A and B are shown apart, each in its own frame.
Chain A
Amino acid sequence: MVTCPYCGSEVDRQPGENVLTCPYCGTAFSLSGGEVGEHLMGRVNYTPRQIFDLFKIWALRLPETPNDFNFEARFVSCDLTFYPYWVYEVSGSFRTAGGLEVAAVEITIPACSRVRGTPLEKMKLSLAGKVYYSHRYVVQTGGKLAVADVGVEAADQAAVSAAELEVAQRLGRRLGRGTVARAEKLEKLARRLVHVPVYSCSYEYGDRAYRFMADASDSRILYAEIPVEARFRAAALVGAGSSFALAAASFALGLAYSFPAFALLTPLALASVGAYCLYKASARKVVVKEFFAKS
């Protein structure tokens, strides 16, 4: 148990948790008992049903998706999790090859190590539309909190490095690639903890279950598993078989007519096409990690 620095309530600590959230007053604080900055959250603007309908329309854009997907896919369940992120406003002078550059950037650092290696790791958040954290709202929406285990010090360091990278990329667009920026004097390093609502949904198609994830604030699809139509897989298999057969035939032809370059290059290219077709045919489901806005 750790005492909340704002309301004095005793708060349970989850295993590995480095930043705690008081369920009574919403304050986010570190193990040492200090507040970590403003605690904000994104609100849930879509229901699971709305998200599922958007997901089905999005999924139909993939060729592997069965044509009856819109009617046959059945919604099964949906979990709402509020994932914690550190959002920084960083401004100051950055040293570059061309001199000092004054810049201001917004940086997002995941506060939950569980999201590493998932599409949630790359999320970039804006502070616009974020409101003060309400645990009551989390409970009312049926959500749960992901454990915030990335502490303040580690996040601060990561934020400065990310800001340097961001400034370098921004200047690189103007001054050319390879631009390096180093933070020289930071005027502002404002840290906020933001909980973002993410739906993790499952649905059934045929006799199998699949999953997808979506941002509950803005409906972006973050991760999706989509069934592959049997006809599509059969067609891809035929394509693979034909490609391999043609590869063998061209190899034989090249040798027979003493065309060494032809015997090497053409079968190689055809076998690659065959391998690609085989890869498409072998997948029972296609996994997409892409934002809806980019599709």
Chain B
Amino acid sequence: MTEARAFVAETTADGRLVYLSAVARPAQPGLEQALTDLLHELARRSYSELHGDRVRFDAIRALKSLGFAVEDVEIAVSYRCPQCGASIQLSPEAVVYVCPYCGWAGDVRGGKIEVRVWQAGHRGLVEGFVRRLGGEPVSVELRYVPFWVFEASVEADYAATVVYRRARTVGGYGRQPRETRYVRERMKVSGRVQFKAVRAVPARLHVEVFGGEELRLWVERKWSFQQPPALGAEEAKPIAPSMLAPELSKEVATEVAVDTLEDEAADEARSAARRKAPGHVEEVRLERFSPSVTIEQGELAFAPYWFFTFRKGSGLYSGAAVGSEITPLRIELPLSNAERAARLAGSWLTAAGSGLVVELALRWQVDPLVLLLTAGLGLLATAKLASSAFAPAKVG
């Protein structure tokens, strides 16, 4: 044997349950025991540190100081399921996982987490849906996308300055005719807004799913009237390979949820301030804004997300749907050459039409501002139609 091996089950300095293994070359008497002791020592470092060159360098230095003439040491780290003891390989981004061997669900520190999953329906339904679109399915893939779902109550005190325009009647004395003038006024308002909200935060660092925003909104809506059931270990096991590992911890997701809810509270405060003005509001400036968000419940829920590609004509298109009812999220539909030509012709007609309207407006001596506005709108509509003729596909 030319190398010494060691293998230990440990908990790292940042509390992660891991297996650490090491190989040292060349083999020497007593090296395996020294290597085992060393791995227990190295486990006092963080999970992140265990991947670096520095830990390897320190290991070689420590073994040399014990009198071993080692040339090389390799250290590997994997997660350890706290229930069945299986060695789990995850990307370093993962913070929660479902063990594919025993169905245990929890975080990388061994804390059990209740996982809720909505039912997925079956593949045949997706294929049937694609055929109803007139396409032939090429690939259908099911992934369970993780979300942290929070129920929260939000309150915010605010003070704002509202700038508004108000109609004021002037004149009417003697021969002077009465006329309506618009004057700009400002007023200070203050108050409190409060509301309850459900906020879903994708538990992945990059939501690399097609129709990701639509999926998030679906989760929020669905949670409000049908919360998914908590999954037992036996139920989780068969779907574990299709579950995307959450990469955002509950703490980080909570910060994201609070941040977006505070933004929403600011919008609510602006709307409330706007409603208090007696005229047409031009601007609302928040001068004081003190939000308070109380998270009442936070759960991890997996949405069954179908991504499919299909062939229609000579093109390949993609789509995404969710849930047992195969609710479409985002689907690309082919844009035929005839449709493209029609859009281009539409831009020509708009160009001609706007030219004619401006010509007539000029003859009828319409306000120059209206004239310029019409010309601008015409050019804009022409450009929009022309660029839509080269759009990738219809997305619905």
Binding site for B on A (CB under 8 A): 6-7, 22-27, 39-40, 43, 45, 57, 60-64, 67-68, 70, 98, 126, 128-137, 173-176, 217-220, 235-236, 239, 242-243, 246, 250, 254, 259-266, 268-270, 272-273, 276-277, 280, 292-293
Q: Which 7 A-B pairs have the closest CB atoms?
A: A132-B52, A129-B93, A266-B355, A26-B53, A269-B351, A131-B51, A174-B266
9 A-B pairs within 8 Å (CB atoms) are namely A7-B57, A133-B53, A174-B262, A174-B263, A218-B206, A246-B348, A261-B359, A265-B378, A293-B206
Is B392 engaged at the interface, CB distance under 8 Å to the other chain? yes
Residue in chain B with minimal CB distance to A22: B53
Residue in chain A with minimal CB distance to B347: A273
Partner of B383, one of A57, A250, A272: A272
Known: A67-B314, A135-B53. A220 touches B208 (CB 8 A): yes
What 1/0 flags go to B360-396 for Cβ under 8 Å of A? Answer: 0010000000000001001100110011011111000
User: Does B314 lie within 8 Å of A57, measured CB to CB?
Assistant: no
Residues of A within 8 A of B285 (CB): 175-176
User: Does B247 lie within 8 Å of A273, measured CB to CB?
Assistant: no
Partner of B355, one of A131, A219, A265, A273: A265
**Closest-CB distance, A179 to chain B (whole angstroms):** 10
User: Does B386 lie within 8 Å of A277, measured CB to CB?
Assistant: yes
How many A-B contacts at CB < 8 Å in the complex? 183
User: Does B375 lie within 8 Å of A265, measured CB to CB?
Assistant: yes
User: Does B344 lie within 8 Å of A273, measured CB to CB?
Assistant: yes
Complex Cα–Cα for A190 and B285 (A): 34
User: Does B54 lie within 8 Å of A132, measured CB to CB?
Assistant: yes
Residues of A within 8 A of B352 (CB): 250, 266, 270
User: Does A132 lie within 8 Å of B355, measured CB to CB?
Assistant: no
Residues of B within 8 A of A173 (CB): 263, 266
Residues of B within 8 A of A277 (CB): 344, 386
Residues of B within 8 A of A67 (CB): 314-316
Residues of B within 8 A of A134 (CB): 51-53, 56
User: Does A270 lie within 8 Å of B348, measured CB to CB?
Assistant: yes
Residues of A within 8 A of B386 (CB): 272-273, 276-277
Interface size class of B (residues with CB under 8 A): 35 or more
Residue in chain B with minimal CB distance to A295: B210
Complex Cα–Cα for A250 and B348 (A): 11
Partner of A57, one of B47, B57, B309, B340: B309
Partner of B387, one of A175, A236, A276: A276
Residues of A within 8 A of B309 (CB): 57
Residues of B within 8 A of A98 (CB): 287-288
Is B272 engaged at the interface, CB distance under 8 Å to the other chain? no
**Closest-CB distance, B133 to chain A (whole angstroms):** 16
Known: A25-B57, A220-B208, A243-B348. A61 touches B393 (CB 8 A): yes
Residue in chain A with minimal CB distance to B287: A98
User: Does A63 lie within 8 Å of B362, measured CB to CB?
Assistant: no
Residue in chain B with minimal CB distance to A254: B355
User: Does B48 lie within 8 Å of A131, measured CB to CB?
Assistant: yes
Residues of A within 8 A of B54 (CB): 6, 25-27, 132
Complex Cα–Cα for A130 and B94 (A): 11
Is B29 engaged at the interface, CB distance under 8 Å to the other chain? no
User: Does A57 lie within 8 Å of B318, measured CB to CB?
Assistant: yes
**Closest-CB distance, A205 to chain B (whole angstroms):** 15
Is B26 engaged at the interface, CB distance under 8 Å to the other chain? no
Is B297 engaged at the interface, CB distance under 8 Å to the other chain? no
Residues of B within 8 A of A280 (CB): 390
Is B67 engaged at the interface, CB distance under 8 Å to the other chain? no
Residues of A within 8 A of B382 (CB): 269, 272-273
What 1/0 flags go to B54-84 for Cβ under 8 Å of A? Answer: 1111000000000000000000000000000
Is B174 engaged at the interface, CB distance under 8 Å to the other chain? no
Residues of A within 8 A of B207 (CB): 293
Interface centre among A43, A98, A273 (most CB of B within 10 A): A273
Known: A61-B392, A133-B53. A269 touches B206 (CB 8 A): no
Is B354 engaged at the interface, CB distance under 8 Å to the other chain? yes
Known: A24-B53, A273-B348. A70 touches B354 (CB 8 A): no
Is B91 engaged at the interface, CB distance under 8 Å to the other chain? yes
User: Does A239 lie within 8 Å of B389, measured CB to CB?
Assistant: yes
Known: A63-B391, A220-B208. A265 touches B52 (CB 8 A): no
Is B1 engaged at the interface, CB distance under 8 Å to the other chain? no
**Closest-CB distance, B378 to chain A (whole angstroms):** 7
Partner of A40, one of B48, B56, B340: B48
Interface centre among B53, B57, B378 (most CB of A within 10 A): B53
User: Does A136 lie within 8 Å of B390, measured CB to CB?
Assistant: no
Is B252 engaged at the interface, CB distance under 8 Å to the other chain? yes
User: Does B344 lie within 8 Å of A292, measured CB to CB?
Assistant: no
Is B281 engaged at the interface, CB distance under 8 Å to the other chain? no
What 1/0 flags go to B88-116 for Cβ under 8 Å of A? Answer: 00011111000000000000000000000
Known: A98-B287, A174-B263, A174-B266. A218 touches B316 (CB 8 A): no
Is B205 engaged at the interface, CB distance under 8 Å to the other chain? yes
What 1/0 flags go to B259-274 for Cβ under 8 Å of A? Answer: 0001100100000000
Known: A63-B392, A272-B382, A273-B347. A132 touches B266 (CB 8 A): no
**Closest-CB distance, B372 to chain A (whole angstroms):** 11
Residues of A within 8 A of B252 (CB): 128
Is B32 engaged at the interface, CB distance under 8 Å to the other chain? no
Is B157 engaged at the interface, CB distance under 8 Å to the other chain? no
Known: A128-B205, A261-B355, A273-B348. A136 touches B362 (CB 8 A): no
Complex Cα–Cα for A219 and B93 (A): 14
Partner of B392, one of A22, A62, A136, A235: A62
Partner of B52, one of A63, A131, A260, A273: A131
Complex Cα–Cα for A24 and B55 (A): 11
From 27 to 51 in chain B, residues with beta carbon under 8 angstroms from any chain A beta carbon are: 47-51
Is B356 engaged at the interface, CB distance under 8 Å to the other chain? yes
